[in-house]
Amino acid sequence: MSKSSANRQVQFGLAGCVTMLVLVGLVGWEAFHWTVNRVYVKEGESAYLRYKGPLIFGSRKMAASGQFAQEGEIGVREKMLGPGRHFYCPIWWEVKVEPDKIVKPGEVGIVTSKFGENLPAGHFLVEGELGQTKHRGILRKVYGPGRYRVHPYAYEFEVKSTVEVSAGGQMKHSGFVNIPTGYVGVLTNLTDNPLTGATAGIQDDVLQPGMYLLNPKEQVVDVVLVGYYEKSIATNLQTDAAGRLKLDASGEPMIATDDSGISFPSKDSQTIHIDFTAIWGVMPDQAPKVIFNFGTLEAVETKIIEPQIQSICRIQGSQFGSAELLEGETRERFQAATSRAFQTALKDKHITLLNGLVRYIHIPRQIREPIQKANLANEFKLTSEQKELTAKTEGLLREAEKNVELAIETVKVETDKMVAKVKADGDKTAAETRGETVKLVAEIDRKTAELESQAMILIAEATSQSKQLLEKAKAGKFKLAVDAFGSGDAYNQWVFASGLPEDIKLNLLYAGQGTFWTDLKGFSDVMLSRQVQLPPTQAPAKPPATQPQR
């Protein structure tokens, strides 16, 4: 073997070894890449990266505190990886998989930014969206139902449903707030909003029924039932073991405790107890003022409605005597004055009064019984008068009934008379109509007979004239025929000739001058030579003007 051949074999061997090493290296790298470097992110998950820095060579610059690492810096990168396969070497990269944040219906997502600058003094809400904020703190915007990819290194994402916030002893709502039908939401801003121009405090415009997403750090809502409420203050009355009311000798219920209900001294220094019912309410436009002034509807009832009922009833009732409160006219004045005063007092506090009713007035027995007896006597008198008036009225009624019966009979008789008269008039009219009809029929028959007679005369005259004209026509025809033939004899001869048989044969012999017998010579020859035969249908056009000599 030559030296050159040996060198070539050595070169081929080296090339083969290098190729094998390259192939082994490639296969090993691919196996390492698809096993060690491969990161799989499932659907509904995301991943973020942290760069560890160079292994031996290169700069080891750290990212600024509170900031994402830029290219070449050690730290957490801002970009997140979505679902799928990704390849990052664990020697230089740390990959952490995080599930996406899911906000379900009825929930709200509240975000807190961990990165950025500190907020200016007096501000505690961060403006902007996820991934676009510049300050640390709670984001003003909240996130409704959905799926969100949130970087856990930069943001804290908290999912909440309805958040109840206690403010000054009042329970307010935020987060996911549902305002049902019949309610309104009184909105309170905890801070100003430079984007909308809203200021802190209770807002004049209420939230209508619906669902709202609110930031608990920015807004809270009082859910207020609008409409009317009932508040009654009643006097405690005595009852027996069965729960039935105890009545005094005059039939009035007996008071159990003097400190119940609404009690006040009357103008004549008698203690009066009354029962009162107020129908009051809060309208949507009044709700902000009510919440601002009183906090809750329960506070309105305990601090305003009940004290006002007690105060107004006492003030108004003290202006009337006990007997006046028992009588109808003055009692009605007390009711009207109490309602007006109560309505005015509530209107100033932005509360609506529908009705303020004095339901019962308990008058002391020593005042009530004489008045009741007097009223009973008066009622007895009025009853007797009414009975007498009723008897008189009943007599008038019976008389009126008799008059009605008489009027009914009179109307019946008059009606029968009118019916008979109308029937007689109808029969008369019918008879006259029948007579007129017969008369008209006879007249028509007479005229018809006259017309028929005239028609017969005209027919006879026409027949006679037609016959006369026919005869004249015939005579004229004969006259014209005679004139056409020249004489009557000629016409007669034509008529005679016309009546001859069609097959007749005539022989005409002219004898000439001389005797007939002498002219018979050569008769046979003449007959043979001058034999004349008429055509079957041809008649002589015109007879000769003169007869031949015989």
What pLDDT, on a 0 to 100 scale, did the predictor assign at position 534? 44
The pLDDT, as a whole number, for residue 241 is 85
Q: What is the DSSP string of 352-389?
A: EEEEEEEEEEE--HHHHHHHHHHHHHHHHHHHHHHHHH
Of 248, 193, 244, 185, the residue nearest 220 (C-alpha)? 185
pLDDT at 81: 87
CA 48 – CA 80 distance, rounded (Å): 5
pLDDT tens sequence across 39-90: 888 888 988 888 888 776 667 778 777 778 788 788 888 888 888 888 888 7
| Burial (CB count <10 Å: 0-12, 13-18, 19+), residue 45 | middle
- The answer to whether 155 touches 130, Cβ cutoff 8 Å, is yes
Average pLDDT over residues 136-147: 92
Residue 110, pLDDT score: 93
As a whole-number percent, the residues of the chain with pLDDT over 70 amount to 82
Please tell me the predicted confidence (pLDDT) of residue 364.
78
pLDDT of 287 strictly over 90: yes
For the chain, how many residues are written? 550
Average pLDDT over residues 353-375: 77
Residue 137 pLDDT more than 70?
yes
pLDDT score, position 103? 93
Dist. CA 125–CA 102, nearest whole Å: 23
Tens of pLDDT, residues 26-53: 666 566 556 667 788 888 898 888 888 8
Question: What pLDDT is recorded for position 4?
Answer: 67
Q: Residue 542's pLDDT is what?
A: 46
Mean pLDDT of 399-406: 87
Which pLDDT value is given to residue 26? Answer: 67
Alpha-carbon distance of 450 to 302, in angstroms, equals 119
Is residue 319 scored above 50 in pLDDT? yes
* Residue 203 pLDDT: 92
- The mean per-residue pLDDT over the stretch 349-367 comes to 85
pLDDT for the residue numbered 545? 46
Say if CB 246 and CB 240 are below 8 A apart.
yes
Neighbours of 227 (CB within 10 A): 13
Average pLDDT of the chain?
A: 81
Is the pLDDT at 257 greater than 50, yes or no? yes
pLDDT, tens digit, for every residue of 424-446? Answer: 888 888 888 888 888 888 889 88
pLDDT of 144 reads: 92
- pTM for this prediction: 0.55
Distance between CA atoms of 138 and 216, rounded to whole angstroms? 10
Q: Hey, is 32 helix, strand or coil?
A: helix
